[in-house]
Every structure is written in structure tokens, then in C-alpha cells.
């Protein structure tokens, strides 16, 4: 393995950073020297005992000192990895080397420095995992017979996985039998088994390929064998780790779920949910184990990833098999009949009940007929779940129980009709009857009592929760809407007159909720988390009730105060975006589904009220504001929860009500119950209604209803006017009026369409139409400008890159120019020497004495030698120049495409060279 480069760099780091950590460079340097001496003793020691003592001392100092960890990372890995590779027979040395490596990757107890400071454990992990051979070497140690060798090896792999997961996963996948060796550790002694289990849990969190291999190696059988051996839900943290590993294998894989279902079945899983021993004994670890098994059930009921083929069929098969194994009984026992269990367990069980019956006809019938309790205190399971909704103090538990009714009523008109048929008012005594004291009360009567019992104590929480259940019962079912529309409630005081429709009572509570909000906090519900969602949930009930149901619209408009109050809700700037948006939808339904001919309640009256009190432009903006809200954009986010892991298990087991305890830290649009209100089906309903409402209002506004006809004076026959003249004048008048009406209708239609398409402050007349068109043009230009800016930024970045490359090539060209100039100078020197030689030869020829020297031959010989020396350099330069010329041509064409002036960029390059060549030519002449 090549650690030389790391050693050179990290040695400096160890010396420099160590001084910063401890504030004393001498101390750090001393520790570096000490580590270096120990490593030298390990490498070059003669006596085995001395080498073992050195490695023991090295482990101790590395475990206690950050600077020693840094120094070891800089110098020690090659030494200890050599021990592991070459001295396998010396078990004590191998143990010491592994223990030292574990210490080098484990943070010390010394207080940590600044966040931006070098962390030796991270650096050492990166250095050790950099070479794949080191991982394969460590995996090979798992086959050693010595217990401590295998134990320290697993600890070392776990530490590496914590700091460098990707590298370790890749190395294990590329190592033959790497996963197999780890799986074999699950059958080893208890301590090693637990370490291997923890390591596999970390490995399978994200790595799909490792998940497949682990399942192929028989993971399911080994996991449930360990869980049974440890005592199921009564077991310790080992059961928790087994369940986390199981969930990692099932979470994103329908194929793994099918394999589990068809090989081992679900009996072993459901046995964990059975309460053994004292049913009242719920320790924290037992709670965590139950949460893990309930998460497994929920994963099976999800069926896999949304986009995975066969997800729905796999989910239905899992629902069927789980129901056949009496999963419903176990879940109802935990969620409904175990009030002493933690809130988190009850909520998880209730969510699983909802997922178990969703869109599964047999399971829906089983839940509808299920009875809970013991004689004589037996009641239907749905009644017990409704009682939880109405009386629980936990918002989290209310949301989970409400999810059951949502799943029960979804695509289940038969079940909706059964629940709606029981909604019958029952007389009760003047004193308030607690809901949990009368288990014989029918489901519908209990629901009505929850809807109407809030008036006396002004606590609208119960009314809100009952409204949520009723909205599920009415959703998409006209027969249920008609049935509930016939329900009449007794007036609070008989002297106030006849009974009132249920829908009027619901609107009254909606108004009470708004008035309580205006008091700004002195009431007890103003500080509860439920206060955020009271109005939106009641509005959701009304929106669901009025959808596709004109009779409900007529009943709603029977009271003129309802329309006035609704207009105030839409225009109230202090209300939430959800209240304004849903109120706008409800107001639009009063137009869309209004079939009344009564002038005081028809659609034209509602549109006129919207136009006068709010303005169409401002009204349509309420839709846009609601669609931009977080729950509306994240309709499915409420169903996504983080996986249960060791880091989060303890907090989840202890929590009593996540939403209520942390309501002060939540934003208005991130309230968890609001997230469940704006689920995907309701969001789709709102989007459909919004589109239809826009079209309906535009149509009504463009074609106003005729007012009372008044006969103008021009239509009366004048005295002495003949019948023919009168008829001609009437005809001309009618034609003129028709033309004006057509022109008015055309302008009105254009105005309404512009208002529906654009936003802004409402105006009137032609200015509004022109302003709408201008806004459309401005918005279009703004988008085009934004796109142009983005393109310019891209071009600027490309231009900067090309300019950098051009600058580099200019520098290269300058260097080559300098080389050519040097070569030219050398050539000029040779020419000067040649000229001097020719002068001397000429003088010798003309003079006397001295032997005749063949100067011409000498000159030719010198010229040839100089030419040979320069030709090699010229050839190399010409080759380089040719390559650079090709690059310059490509850059020039690219710069030309980007609009750059290539000539100006290249201006001045080569001038010096030209001057040098001219001077050389002049000298030759």
C-alpha cells in the first residue's frame, strides 16, 4: 500500500495542527517524537516482547491524545498494516495493531476545538479507506480463529463506515465473499454477533446492491432467529438493531417484501407485536422495539417505492396475508385497547390499521364488524376510534386516528353509507354527558354530540375533530350528503324557534372560531396547536359538503349572514392563507353549484357581492396564495416519516405529543395537522374546483342577469304618429339597443377573462382591461428578461473560461517567441563569426607568408555543424508551433462565435519576432 504521499503531507499537519490543539508546540513535537520512536521499535525491534510492549504503549497514547492521533496518521499506517499482513501468526501483535487502529479512528474525550479544526479521526479514516487493499485485508481477518481479532476487526470496520461510508461500501462490494464473511459473523458468539449486526445495519441503509446480497445470504432467517433468541419485544437493543436491519432491507424493495412473504411469512413479525407478561409493563426499550416492528408492518403495507412496478399488487397481497394472520387484532390492541402504552406506539398502530384497510374490501368489512372490549362493555371498533379522536389530549393521536377514517371512507361508498345512516340526533339530559361514559351510543349520535357539544364551553377542538371525520364520510358521496342534509338540530333554547340544519350549526362554529381568534390569546385554545387548524378543518368539511351538491348550496345561502361572513373571511388580511383560500373556494362553490332562480340567492347575486366587496382580481389571488403555501405544494409530505434508528429511537419512545410540545417552533404552514388536511386527494379536489370556479364566475360576470324591465319613453307612440312611422322608429331603436348590448357584452367578457388571468389591485372599466393586458405583457417581458439574463450569465462564464485558455496560449506563444528569438540571436552570432572568418581568409590570400589554409572548407564545415545543431531545435519548435496553431485556430473560431474580436486579442503577438528577423536580414545583406 502506498502511504508515502500521505505521510509526507500529514507529518506537517501533525506538527502544525497538534500545536494549535494543545497550545504548546513543544508538547506536540514531543508526542510526535514519542510516536515515531514507538513505530521505529515496532518496525525494527529485535525482541518480540519489546515490539509488543511498544505497540501496547502506542495504543495507549493514541487513545488519549489528538496530537498523537495526528502523528500516527502521518507515520503509523504502513507499519501496522504491515504487521497485519506479514505477522498473522503473532496473535498478540495483530490484536495490538487492530486495537491501535480502532483508537486512531475513535474520537478522544478531550474537549473538541473549533469546528473548522482538522479532526484526526476523520483524516485517519480517509487515509485508511483510501486503499481498497486495506479493506480486503481487514475482511480476511474475520476468518481468524482468535476472538479478539474478529472483534477488533468489526469495530474497526464500523468506525470506517461511520466516517467513510461510500469508500467502505465500494471496497466491500469489490472484495470476494466480503458480505458473506460479515453474514457469517451473525452466527458467531454474542459479542461478535452484535458488532456484525450493527455494521450490517449501517451498510444497508442506502446501498441497494448490498441489500440484495444480504437478503440472498439468508438475512431474514438469521434476523428472526436472533429476535426470538433475545425475547422478541421484551428483548434489548439487539432486537432494535435486528428490526432496523430488517426495515432497511424492506423499505425500498418490493422484491424483498415478496421474498419475505413467500418464504418465511409474517408470523414471526406479528409475534413481536403480541403483548407478553404484564400488559402494563412498557419499558423504554420495549417501546422502541414495538415502534420498530410497527414500522416494518407499515413498510409492508406501503408496498415499496411509488414508481416501482407491481407496487399496488404487492401492497394488496401484503394486506391480505397480514389480515389472515390476525394483524388487525394485534394492531387494535396496541392502538386502541392499550391506553398505558406510549403515545408514539398507539399512533404508529393506528396508522397501520388505516393502511391495512385502505382500498381492501375484505379488510374494510372486517374493521366495520370488529368489536372491542369484554362483556358487558363491548362496542364497535370504529366507535372506540371515534372516541379517541374526540377525547384525546394528543394532537398526534387525533391525526393518527383520523387517518383510519380517511382510509376507511376512501373508495368505500358502502362503509360511508353505514356510518351516515347512524347520524341521528338523540335527546340527552341538560347536563353534559361525557362521551366516554356511554358506550351504547351509536356512532353517528356520538359524532353529532361531538359536533354540537362545543357550544357550552366554547372549546371548538372537539367540533373541529368531529368535522374532520364527517368530511371523510361525505367525501364524493351524494347519498350521504343528502342523508346528513336532512339532520335537524334542536335549538340551544326552545324559545329561539324551530330546529336548525346541521350545516348552519357548523357555519356558526366557524364564525365563533374567528371571533375567538380576534380576542388574541386569553382563551385556552388560543395557545394550543389545534387552534391553527380549527378553521381550515371546518372549512374543508363545508367545501366537501357543497361540492357537486346544489341542495347544500341552497341551504347554506338560506341565511344572508352566511354569505356576508364568508366575504369577510376571504377579505380578512389577518387570517391565514388557508382560511382565506378555502373560504374563496367555498364562495366559488356558491356560484358553481347554484341552481336557484331566486334573485336573492342565485349565482348572479353571489358574483355581484364578490365584485363589490372583494373585487374579482383580489378574489382570484386568494387561490394563487393558497397554492403557493407549503402544505399545498407538499401534499404527500405528511405521510413521509424518517426511519427509526438508534439515534432517534429514544426520543421517539419518550415523546408524548410532538406537535403540541413544539408548536411554538412550528411555522403556520408547517403544522402537522394542516399537512394531513391538505393531502393529495383534497388538493386535487381544490385544484379542480378552482378551475371550474374561474370559468363559472367569468361566464356569470360576462353575461349579467337582466334587471327589471323599464319601458323607455322612446318606445311610446307619439300623438299623431302613424303606425308605420312608429314601427320604423321602434325597429331602429331596438337595433340600436341590440348593437350596444352586444358591444357591452363583448367588452365585459374581455374584462372578466383578463381579471381571471391576471392579478393585482382591482380597477374598473376600460382601464382595468388595459391594465390586465399590460400586466400580461409585463409578465411575459419579465420572464424573457430573466431567461436572457441566465443565458448571458452562461455566456459570461464560457467567455471567462475561453479567455483563461487564450491567456494560457498567449503565454505559451510568448515563450516560444522568446525561444525563437534566442535561436535567431545564435544564428546571427554564427553569421558574424562567419563574416570575420571570411575577412581573415581574404586578408591571408592577399598577404604574404604562411601556408595556404582552405578557409572555404573550414567555413563550410562550421556552417554544417551549426545547421545540424539548430535543425533539431527548429523541428521540435515547429511541431509545437503546429499544435499550438491548431488550438489557436479552434479558440479563434469559438471566440468569434461568442462575438469576441479575435484580431484585437491577438494584436501585438509576434511583433518582436518580426523585428528580430528583419534585423537579421539586414545584417546578412
Q: How is 30-56 classified by DSSP, letter by letter? A: HHHHHHHHHHHHHHH-SSHHHHHHHHH
661 half-sphere exposure, CB direction, 13 A CA radius: 8
Q: In angstroms, what CA-CA distances link 45 with 49, 56, 551?
A: 9, 14, 97
SS (H, E, C) 659-683: HHHCHHHCCHHHCHHHHHHCCHHHH
Are the beta carbons of 333 and 275 closer than 8 angstroms? yes
Residue 392 in grid coordinates: 384525546
Task: Specify the pLDDT at position 874.
Answer: 78
pLDDT along the chain (925 residues), means of 10: 37 39 52 88 89 93 89 90 91 94 83 62 88 86 92 93 86 89 92 94 90 94 95 92 95 91 94 75 90 95 80 93 95 92 94 96 96 87 95 92 96 96 73 54 92 64 93 96 90 63 91 64 42 87 95 92 92 87 95 86 89 88 85 56 64 49 46 80 91 89 57 62 73 74 65 57 42 53 69 74 78 80 81 84 68 62 76 76 79 78 67 48 46
Residue 114: DSSP 8-state: -
Helix (H) or strand (E) holding 379: strand 377-380
Q: Are residues 807 and 906 in contact, defined by beta-carbon separation less than 8 angstroms?
A: no
Chain region(s) in the chain for CATH 1.25.10.10 = 27-108+118-175, 341-427+438-512, 549-650+672-707
Say if residues 129 and 164 touch (Cβ distance below 8 Å): yes
Handedness of CA 227, 233, 238, 240 (dihedral sign): positive
* Count of helix runs (H) and strand runs (E) in the chain: 46, 4
> How far, CA to CA in Å, does 208 sit from each of 64, 173, 255, 256, 264?
38, 11, 12, 11, 21
For cell 391506553, the residue is: 339
CA dihedral (293, 294, 300, 303) positive or negative: negative
| Residue 560, pLDDT score | 87
DSSP three-state, residue 266: coil
Distance CA 316, CA 322 (A): 10
Spatial distance between the Cα atoms of 185 and 152, rounded to a whole number of angstroms = 13
- Residue among 799, 824, 849, 784 at smallest CA distance from 910: 824
The SS3 of residue 88 is coil
Q: How far is CA 364 from CA 299, 303, 404, 661, 777, in A?
A: 19, 18, 10, 34, 54
Neighbours of 370 (CB within 10 A): 16
Instruction: Specify the pLDDT at position 455.
Output: 53
> Cis omega before residue 278 (within 30°)?
no
d(CA 284, CA 214): 30
User: What topology does CATH give the domain 341-427+438-512?
Assistant: 1.25.10
Backbone angles phi, psi at 380, to 5 degrees: -60, 145
**Could you tell me if 652 and 300 are in contact, meaning their C-beta atoms sit under 8 angstroms apart?**
no
Domain range 549-650+672-707, CATH class: mainly alpha
Give domain 27-108+118-175's CATH number out of 1.10.260.40, 1.25.10.10, 3.20.20.70, 3.40.109.10.
Answer: 1.25.10.10
Q: Would you say how long the chain is, in residues?
A: 925
What local confidence, expressed as pLDDT, does residue 824 receive? Answer: 80
- The grid cell for 226 is 436472533
- Residue 500, beta-bridge partner list: 489
Q: What b/e sequence results for 567-580 when a residue is b if at least 16 CB atoms lie within 10 Å of its CB, and e otherwise? A: bebbbeeebbbbbb
**Largest distance between two CA atoms of the chain:** 157
Please tell me what DSSP assigns to residue 372. E
Between CA 794 and CA 800 the distance in angstroms is 10
Q: Report CA-CA distances (Å) from 64 to 23, 54, 538.
A: 17, 16, 62
For residues 918 and 583, give the distance between their C-alpha atoms in angstroms, rounded to a whole number: 89
Amino acid at each position: 500500500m502506498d502511504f508515502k504521499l500521505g505521510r509526507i503531507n500529514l507529518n506537517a499537519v501533525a506538527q502544525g495542527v497538534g500545536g494549535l490543539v494543545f497550545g504548546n508546540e513543544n508538547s506536540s513535537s514531543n508526542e510526535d517524537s514519542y510516536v515515531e520512536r514507538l513505530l521505529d521499535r515496532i518496525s525494527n525491534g529485535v525482541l518480540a516482547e519489546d515490539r509488543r510492549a511498544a505497540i501496547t504503549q502506542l495504543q495507549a497514547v493514541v487513545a488519549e491524545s489528538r496530537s498523537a492521533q495526528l502523528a500516527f496518521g502521518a507515520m503509523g499506517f504502513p507499519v501496522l498494516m504491515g504487521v497485519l499482513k506479514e505477522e498473522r501468526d503473532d496473535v498478540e501483535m495483530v490484536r495490538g495493531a487492530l486495537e491501535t487502529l480502532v483508537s486512531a479512528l475513535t474520537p478522544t474525550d478531550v474537549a473538541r476545538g473549533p469546528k473548522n479544526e482538522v479532526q484526526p479521526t476523520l483524516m485517519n479514516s480517509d487515509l485508511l479507506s483510501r486503499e481498497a487493499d486495506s479493506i480486503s485485508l481487514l475482511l480476511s481477518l474475520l476468518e481468524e480463529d482468535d476472538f479478539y481479532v474478529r472483534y477488533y476487526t468489526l469495530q474497526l470496520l464500523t468506525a470506517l463506515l461511520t466516517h467513510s461510508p461510500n469508500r467502505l461500501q465500494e471496497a466491500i462490494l469489490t472484495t470476494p465473499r466480503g458480505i458473506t464473511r460479515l453474514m457469517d459473523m451473525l452466527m458467531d458468539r454474542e459479542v461478535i454477533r452484535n458488532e456484525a449486526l450493527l455494521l450490517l445495519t449501517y451498510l444497508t441503509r442506502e446501498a441497494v446492491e448490498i441489500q440484495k446480497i444480504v437478503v440472498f445470504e439468508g438475512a431474514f432467517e438469521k434476523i428472526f432467529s436472533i429476535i426470538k433468541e433475545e425475547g422478541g419485544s421484551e428483548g434489548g437493543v439487539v432486537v432494535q438493531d435486528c428490526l432496523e436491519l430488517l426495515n432497511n432491507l424492506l423499505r425500498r424493495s418490493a422484491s424483498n417484501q415478496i421474498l419475505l412473504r413467500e418464504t418465511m411469512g409474517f408470523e414471526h413479525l406479528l409475534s413481536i407485536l403480541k403483548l407478553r407478561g404484564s400488559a402494563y409493563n412498557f419499558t423504554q426499550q420495549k417501546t422502541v422495539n414495538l415502534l420498530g416492528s410497527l414500522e416494518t408492518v407499515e413498510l409492508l403495507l406501503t408496498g415499496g417505492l411509488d414508481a416501482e412496478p407491481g407496487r399496488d399488487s404487492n401492497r394488496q397481497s401484503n394486506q391480505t396475508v397480514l389480515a389472515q394472520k390476525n394483524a388487525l387484532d394485534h394492531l387494535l390492541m396496541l392502538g386502541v385497547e392499550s391506553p398505558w402504552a406510549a403515545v408514539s406506539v398507539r399512533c404508529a398502530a393506528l396508522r397501520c390499521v388505516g393502511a391495512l384497510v385502505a382500498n381492501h374490501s375484505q379488510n374494510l368489512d372486517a374493521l366495520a364488524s370488529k368489536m372491542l372490549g369484554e362483556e358487558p362493555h363491548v362496542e364497535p371498533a370504529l366507535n372506540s376510534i371515534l372516541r379517541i379522536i374526540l377525547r384525546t389530549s394528543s394532537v398526534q393521536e387525533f391525526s393518527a386516528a383520523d387517518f383510519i377514517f380517511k382510509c376507511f371512507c376512501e373508495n368505500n361508498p358502502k362503509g360511508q353509507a353505514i356510518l351516515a345512516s347512524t347520524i341521528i340526533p338523540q335527546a340527552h339530559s341538560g347536563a353534559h354527558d361525557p362521551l366516554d361514559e356511554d358506550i351504547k351510543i351509536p356512532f353517528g349520535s356520538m359524532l353529532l354530540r361531538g359536533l354540537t357539544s362545543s357550544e357550552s364551553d366554547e372549546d371548538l377542538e372537539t367540533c373541529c375533530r368531529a368535522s374532520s371525520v364527517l368530511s371523510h364520510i361525505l367525501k364524493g358521496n351524494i347519498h350521504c350528503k343528502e342523508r346528513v342534509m336532512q339532520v335537524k338540530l334542536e335549538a340551544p333554547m326552545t324559545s329561539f324557534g324551530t330546529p336548525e340544519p346541521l350545516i348552519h350549526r357548523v357555519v356558526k362554529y366557524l364564525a365563533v372560531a374567528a371571533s375567538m381568534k380576534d380576542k388574541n390569546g386569553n382563551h385556552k385554545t388560543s395557545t394550543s396547536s389545534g387552534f391553527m387548524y380549527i378553521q381550515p378543518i371546518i372549512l374543508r368539511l363545508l367545501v366537501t359538503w357543497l361540492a357537486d351538491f346544489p341542495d347544500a348550496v341552497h341551504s347554506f345561502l338560506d341565511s344572508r349572514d352566511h354569505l356576508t361572513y364568508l366575504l369577510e373571511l376571504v377579505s380578512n388580511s389577518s387570517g391565514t392563507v388557508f382560511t382565506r383560500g378555502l373560504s374563496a373556494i367555498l364562495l366559488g362553490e356558491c356560484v358553481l353549484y347554484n341552481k336557484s332562480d331566486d334573485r336573492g340567492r342565485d349565482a348572479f347575486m353571489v358574483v355581484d357581492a364578490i365584485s363589490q366587496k372583494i373585487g374579482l382580481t383580489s378574489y382570484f389571488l386568494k387561490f394563487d396564495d393558497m397554492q403557493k403555501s407549503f402544505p399545498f405544494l407538499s401534499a404527500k409530505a405528511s405521510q413521509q416519516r424518517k426511519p427509526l434508528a438508534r439515534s432517534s429511537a429514544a426520543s421517539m419512545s419518550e415523546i408524548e405529543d410532538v406537535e403540541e410540545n413544539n408548536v411554538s417552533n412550528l411555522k403556520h404552514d408547517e403544522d402537522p395537522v394542516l399537512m394531513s388536511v391538505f393531502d393529495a386527494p383534497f388538493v386535487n379536489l381544490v385544484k379542480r374546483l378552482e378551475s371550474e370556479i374561474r370559468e363559472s364566475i367569468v361566464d356569470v360576470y360576462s353575461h349579467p342577469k337582466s334587471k327589471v324591465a323599464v319601458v323607455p319613453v322612446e318606445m311610446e307612440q307619439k300623438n299623431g304618429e302613424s303606425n308605420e312611422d312608429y314601427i320604423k322608429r321602434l325597429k331602429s331603436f331596438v337595433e340600436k339597443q341590440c348593437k350596444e348590448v352586444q358591444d357591452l357584452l363583448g367588452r365585459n367578457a374581455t374584462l372578466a377573462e383578463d381579471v381571471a388571468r391576471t392579478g393585482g389591485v382591482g380597477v374598473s372599466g376600460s382601464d382595468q382591461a388595459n391594465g390586465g393586458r399590460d400586466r400580461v405583457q409585463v409578465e411575459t417581458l419579465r420572464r424573457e428578461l430573466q431567461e436572457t439574463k441566465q443565458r448571458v450569465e452562461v455566456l459570461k462564464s464560457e467567455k471567462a473560461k475561453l479567455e483563461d485558455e487564450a491567456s494560457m496560449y498567449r503565454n505559451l506563444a510568448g515563450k516560444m517567441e522568446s525561444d525563437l528569438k534566442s535561436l535567431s540571436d545564435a544564428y546571427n552570432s554564427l553569421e558574424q563569426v562567419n563574416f570575420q572568418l571570411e575577412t581573415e581568409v581574404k586578408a591571408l590570400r592577399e598577404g604574404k607568408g604562411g601556408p595556404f589554409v582552405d578557409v572555404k572548407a573550414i567555413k563550410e564545415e562550421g556552417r554544417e555543424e551549426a545547421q545540424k545543431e539548430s535543425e533539431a531545435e527548429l523541428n521540435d519548435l515547429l511541431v509545437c508551433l503546429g499544435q499550438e496553431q491548431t488550438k489557436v485556430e479552434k479558440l479563434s473560431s469559438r471566440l468569434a462565435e461568442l462575438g469576441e474580436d479575435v484580431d484585437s486579442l491577438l494584436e501585438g503577438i509576434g511583433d518582436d519576432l518580426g523585428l528580430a528577423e528583419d534585423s537579421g536580414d539586414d545584417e546578412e545583406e
